[in-house]
């Protein structure tokens, strides 16, 4: 909430309310505020006060007024660079693909679609300019369920308007790449729900192949290169063994020891009553 207030330049009288629904767009933001906030991201985290008049001259050419830019830091430069990269990827392979500029100028942006398609947004920037496009009814909520044969999402019409406008405005400007973020200080870590399960395959050897276990995700490690989950060294796998008397028995043992045992099956589900003499 504090970051949003800083990016939009809001004070104590018009600051955002601390409601959880704020992240879903429940509190109103003007197109100008959106453009200014995104400009701060493009500007390395520095928020500049918007203005309409840059200079006033009299009939003799004497300068009567000259705007002096004013700004303050809203977010860290590294944070701005990371956010910029995420938004740039959205234009390359996300919902903002239709906002791509014909010149090849890299850009970054985000689509937005309100419930019932009553509002649609595209807000984005290049190193030269930040622009917000809003589409909707100025006085009431009107569902835009059929806009050129499709639902009126932010990635359908607003993104194309943004791309066409920015292409025309920047056609005489040199192409400038977006700022690249520094490497992260630590490796990314997956986040899981408390009860979420992850499938782990354990190699039982050339004759028996792989056996899959469902472990709590917190007890797994991720091999990002291979795209697989590995059991944590302290993880226990639940197995079913068949005793000498023909009775199924559930057992928990360290997953690293599983290849040394002769399991009948994993026990994601308990054995069926009456099966194998039970």
The number of helix segments (H) and strand segments (E) in the chain equals 4, 14
DSSP-derived pairing of the beta strands 46-48 and 71-73: antiparallel
271, 240 contact by CB (below 8 A): yes
> Which residue from 137, 133, 131, 197 is spatially nearest to 161, judged by alpha carbons?
133
User: Does residue 274 carry a pLDDT above 60?
Assistant: no
Q: Give me the domains of the chain, ranges plus CATH numbers.
A: 2-169 (3.40.710.10), 197-277 (no CATH)
87, 79 contact by CB (below 8 A): no
171, 129 contact by CB (below 8 A): no
Q: How far is CA 201 from the centre of its chain?
A: 29
What pTM value is reported for the model?
0.66
214, 237 contact by CB (below 8 A): no
Q: What is the dihedral of CA 95, 98, 100, 103, to 10 degrees?
A: 170
User: Does residue 271 carry a pLDDT above 50?
Assistant: no
What is the model's pLDDT at position 52? 93
Distance CA 80, CA 74 (A): 9
| Low-confidence winner among 11-25, 34-48, 82-96, 199-213 (lowest mean pLDDT) | 11-25
178, 84 contact by CB (below 8 A): yes
Distance CA 124, CA 129 (A): 9
Query: For the chain, what percent of residues have pLDDT higher than 70?
Result: 90
What is the model's pLDDT at position 14? 82
Estimate the share of the chain in helix, then strand, then coil, as percent rounded to the nearest 5: 25, 25, 50
Q: What is the pLDDT of residues 86-100, one digit of tens each?
A: 999 999 999 999 999
């Amino acid at each position: 909430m504090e970051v949003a207030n800083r990016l939009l330049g809001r004070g104590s009288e018009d600051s955002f309310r601390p409601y959880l629904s704020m992240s879903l767009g429940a509190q109103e933001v003007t197109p100008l505020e959106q453009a200014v906030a995104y400009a701060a991201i493009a500007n390395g985290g520095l928020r500049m006060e918007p203005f309409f008049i840059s200079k006033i001259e009299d009939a003799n050419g004497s300068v009567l007024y000259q705007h002096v830019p004013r700004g303050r830091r809203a977010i860290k430069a590294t944070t701005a660079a990371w956010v910029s990269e995420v938004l740039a990827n959205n234009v390359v392979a996300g919902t903002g693909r239709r906002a791509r500029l014909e010149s090849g100028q890299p850009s970054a942006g985000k689509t937005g679609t309100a419930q019932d398609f009553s509002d649609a947004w595209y807000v984005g920037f290049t190193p030269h300019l930040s622009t917000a496009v809003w589409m909707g009814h100025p006085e009431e909520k009107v569902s835009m369920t059929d806009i050129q044969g499709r639902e009126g999402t932010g990635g359908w019409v607003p993104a194309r308007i943004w791309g066409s406008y920015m292409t025309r405005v920047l056609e005489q400007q040199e192409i400038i790449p977006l700022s690249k973020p520094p490497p992260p200080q630590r490796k990314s870590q997956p986040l899981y729900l408390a009860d979420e399960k992850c499938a782990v395959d354990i190699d039982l050897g050339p004759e028996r192949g792989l056996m899959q276990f469902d472990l709590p995700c917190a007890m797994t490690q991720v091999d990002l290169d291979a795209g697989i989950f590995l059991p944590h060294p302290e993880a226990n796998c639940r197995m079913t063994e068949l005793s000498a008397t023909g009775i199924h028995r559930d057992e928990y043992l360290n997953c690293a020891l599983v290849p040394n045992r002769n399991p009948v099956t994993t026990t994601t589900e308990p054995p069926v009553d009456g099966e194998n003499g039970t």
